[in-house]
Amino acid sequence: MRKVKISEYEIIEDLSQGVFKALRHGQEWRDLIGDNLIYSLIDRLEDAERLLQEAQGMMDDNYYGYDEVNSAITRHLNGEEN
């Protein structure tokens, strides 16, 4: 099962159980079964987040601007506004 939360929206995908839906403010909002655009965007988002995590892990403490870059990456990964 995958969950993606963006602002007041949450996308829940568990295709093994036939679930692919969007919640808005915690309430069911849309059935996403068959919506390949949303599915592709979730995959792309997860790839980007994985790459950010890898980049964060490779950063060296002596790198110029490390603190600012690390903070921005951490805020993104935690779903906070930049």
Question: Rounded distance, CA 20 to CA 1, Å?
Answer: 10
pLDDT tens, position by position, for the chain (82 residues)? 999 998 999 999 999 999 999 999 999 999 999 999 999 999 998 888 888 887 777 665 556 566 777 777 788 778 776 5
pTM, 2 dp:
0.64
